[in-house]
Every structure is written in C-alpha cells, then in structure tokens.
C-alpha cells in the first residue's frame, strides 16, 4: 500500500505515486548543487532546473557586495542580456526589487501585475519572450542575498503552479546556501594568503610564489627581479602618534606599491615594516 504524507502547503504526496519520479529527479540535482564549483551550480540552474519546472529561459546572477552589482554568471537566452546590473537604480528593475525585498517575485502576467508594479520602461527585454510570466527568485544565505535566479516563459499550462513554485523555492535555498559557502571559502582562502592590514600577500605566500618563479626561471630561462623595501622611521611614528597612525602609514605605502606594479607582478608585506 502507498504511504501518504502532508506537504507544507497541505497537499498529500503518495510515495508510490507519480511524484516519486519527481523526487528521484530532484535528489541528484540537489547533490550536484552541494559543491564549491560555481560553474557546476550554474549549469544546473540554467539547464536542469528549467526543464524540471517547464520554463524556456533562465539566468543566474551573482551579487558583488563590495560594488553593489549583480554579475551575469550564466544564461540560456539566445538574445542580449545585461551582464552587469547595478542595485543603485532610481527606477529599479524587477530583479533589483527582488534583491531589495529578499522576496520571490511571481509574475503571472507582467502586463497586469500589481505588486510590485512593473512598468514597461523597467522591462528592457520584454519583447524577447513568448509569454508574460516569469519568476525572479533572490538567492539567500544566512538572510543575505548572494545572487538571483530568473526564470521566464513557462510553456506548460501557461502559468506557474504550486508545485513549480515550491521547486523554485527549494532550489533557490540550495543554490543560495552553496553560493554562500563558495564566498565563505574564498574569503578564508584570501585570509590565509594575504596580510590583513594591507591586503598584500603575506610572508608565507610570498615564498611559495618566489619558489615557483625560481623553478620556472631555471626550467624555461628568463630573469626575475626582486625589490626589497624597508620603511625608515616607522618606529618614530608609532612612538609619537600611536600604532594606529603607524598602520595608516603602512596601508598608504601598500596602496602606492600596488599602483606602481603590473598585473603580472607580486607585492607582499614581508614583515612589520618590510615589503617585497
């Protein structure tokens, strides 16, 4: 006999019924999303989830918190999309509305949608779609937005039903958690390799890079230039004005070093008042 259980929206799902195949399709996608590979996650978002939900187009944007900008990670649109979307818009687009509200925006008919009101001027690429429906789902991790998943042109049944919305919400939570983990992992990696005060690479990473460059030079030929910088008078600044003033001096020296080097060069804080 089949066993039934009640879902959060009150509907019953039979474990021996047709929804078993849906669960079997959802589970491997959830496993694929649970990783630290943003390209793999994006592939699932753009290729697999749309097929599961029955939509034609999808796009994944990642939030750059430092610059308050959404960057297009991947999409399956054959037409032009904005690769960069600023969150500092006076007349916000639907995607920016979703980010600010942290709420999924479900649009059954974008022409008559009332909450929020979406003006024609806010829909730059509206003519590219065959239907007027779409879903804009902010991706959250620990209540912080890390990206946005957009889906448009629901081809089957003409609108998003409860099952489709539940799937989109589920995958949005999973994708948001994974992107948050990626950002955390990258931040920990930066902290392990860079100096916290200046943002330059630290002493340990400097020697690792130097060893690689020396090996490359011995194997392929070429020369390496190494400049060592020792700041004079920093102890006097610390003694007279305090260590916070000394830290400002070190940060300013670091900024000037960064401005003077090329992208292929490496700058490091070698020690307290020493740079390389």
The C-alpha angle 216, 218, 220, rounded to 5 degrees, equals: 60
- With bands split at pLDDT 50, 70 and 90, how would you rate the model's confidence at 111? very low
When pLDDT is cut at 50, 70 and 90, the band that residue 12 belongs to is very low
Average pLDDT rounded to a whole number, residues 131-144: 88
Q: What is the mean pLDDT of residues 6-15?
A: 44
pLDDT at 234: 87
pLDDT in tens, 140-172: 999 999 999 999 888 766 678 888 899 999 999
CA distance 230 to 234: 10
Looking at residue 17, its pLDDT comes to 45
pLDDT, the chain, mean: 84
**Is 194-275 the same fold as 4-192?**
no
**pLDDT-derived band of residue 6, with 50, 70 and 90 as boundaries?**
very low
Spatial distance between the Cα atoms of 64 and 46, rounded to a whole number of angstroms: 20
* 4-192 is a CATH 3.30.450.40 domain: yes
Q: Which residues contact 28 (CB under 8 A, 6 or more apart)?
A: none
User: 3-class secondary structure for the chain?
Assistant: CCCEEECCCCCEEECCCCHHHHHHHHHHHHHHHCCCCHHHHHHHHHHHHHHHHCEEEEEEEEEECCCCEEEEEEECCCCCCCCEEECCCCCCCHHHHHHHHCCCEEECCCCCCCCCCCCHHHCCCHHHCCCCCEEEEEEEECCEEEEEEEEEEECCCCCCCHHHHHHHHHHHHHHHHHHHHHHHHHHHHHHHHECCCCCCECHHHHHHHHHHHHHHHHHHCCCCCCCCEECCCHHHHHHHHCHHHHHHHHHHHHHHHHHHCCCCCCCEECCCCEEC
Six-digit token string for 69: 């900008």
Q: Is the pLDDT at 112 greater than 80, yes or no? A: no
The pLDDT, as a whole number, for residue 14 is: 43
Each domain of the chain, given as residue ranges in start order, spans 4-192, 194-275
In this prediction, residue 272 carries a pLDDT of 86
What gap in Å lies between CA 229 and CA 267, rounded to an integer?
11
Beta pairing partners, 147: 62, 139
Average pLDDT over residues 261-266: 88
Q: What is the pLDDT of residue 158?
A: 65
pLDDT in tens, 20-73: 578 888 999 999 999 999 999 999 999 999 999 989 999 999 999 989 999 999
Confidence at 191, pLDDT banded by 50, 70, 90: confident
Q: How confident is the model at residue 1 (pLDDT cuts 50, 70, 90)?
A: very low
Top-tier CATH class for 194-275 = alpha beta
180 in Cβ contact with 144 (< 8 Å): yes
- Which residue's entry shows tokens 């804009």? 136
Q: What pLDDT, on a 0 to 100 scale, did the predictor assign at position 119?
A: 52
At 3, the pLDDT band (50, 70, 90 cuts) reads very low
Residue 232: count other Cβ atoms within 10 Å of its Cβ.
Answer: 7
Whether the predicted pLDDT of 228 surpasses 70 = yes
């Amino acid at each position: 006999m089949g066993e039934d259980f009640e879902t959060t929206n009150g509907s019953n799902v039979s474990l021996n019924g047709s929804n078993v195949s849906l669960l079997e399709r959802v589970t491997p996608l959830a496993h694929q999303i649970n990783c630290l590979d943003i390209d793999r996650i994006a592939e699932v978002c753009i290729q697999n989830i749309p097929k599961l939900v029955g939509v034609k187009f999808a796009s994944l944007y990642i939030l750059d918190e430092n610059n308050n900008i959404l960057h297009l990670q991947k999409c399956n649109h054959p037409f032009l999309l904005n690769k960069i979307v600023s969150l500092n818009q006076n007349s916000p687009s639907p995607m920016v509305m979703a980010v600010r509200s942290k709420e999924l925006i479900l649009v059954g008919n974008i022409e008559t949608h009332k909450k929020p009101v979406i003006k024609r001027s806010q829909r730059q690429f509206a003519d590219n779609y065959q239907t007027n429906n779409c879903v804009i789902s902010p991706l959250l991790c620990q209540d912080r937005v890390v990206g946005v998943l957009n889906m448009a042109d629901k081809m089957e049944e003409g609108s998003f039903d409860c099952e489709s919305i539940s799937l989109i919400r589920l995958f949005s939570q999973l994708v948001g958690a994974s992107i948050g983990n990626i950002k955390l992992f990258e931040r920990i990696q930066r902290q392990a390799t860079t100096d916290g005060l200046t943002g330059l690479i630290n002493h340990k990473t400097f020697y690792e890079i130097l060893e690689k460059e020396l090996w490359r030079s011995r194997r392929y030929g070429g020369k390496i230039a190494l400049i060592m910088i020792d700041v004079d008078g920093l102890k006097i600044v610390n003694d007279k004005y305090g260590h916070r003033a000394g830290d400002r001096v070190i940060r300013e020296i670091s900024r000037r070093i960064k401005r003077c080097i090329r992208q292929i060069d490496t700058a490091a804080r070698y020690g307290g008042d020493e740079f390389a």
